[in-house]
Amino acid sequence: MKLFDYINVIFDANNAKWEEVSELDMARNAFMLNRLMSIKFPVQAQMLNIMKISPVGQAHAWRNIAKQFKRTPGFIYTKTKNMSSDKTKKLNEDAVAMYMKMNEIGEKEFKDAYKFNQKEVEKALDILEKTYFSKK
């Protein structure tokens, strides 16, 4: 049984579906169930970890807590950040080479400087680019 099928059974009011879930499925999904439920119930999740309850026992404990919900709650489906790949500004390679030569630094130092002080480095690169590499 896949994770979200299992989650839906946990929150389903139909006990017949819960009875069909095997102990193997309970054990297999115990970690993620505990992790998802800890969003709303962090103390209970920590206590289950401290007491070292078996994964099957954890599943039954979370099932008892899940009975208070009429359907699968929204906190189970957490949102994640979308990583946009084109956020970084394209840097002029000639300006970067001149910047590194003028400041007597290598690529590693340039990457560190850019990472920790991006605005200042971009400002310096823009000045170099306009002064030496602009197409007239």
Say what the pTM is: 0.54
**Which residues, 6+ apart, have CB-to-CB distance to 108 below 8 Å?**
none
Residue 108 has pLDDT above 90, yes or no: yes
Helices 107-116 and 93-102: crossing angle in degrees, nearest 10, is: 100
29-87 pLDDT, tens digit each: 888 888 888 888 889 888 988 988 888 998 899 888 888 888 887 877 776 666 665 55
Domain boundary assignment for the chain: 3-76, 93-132
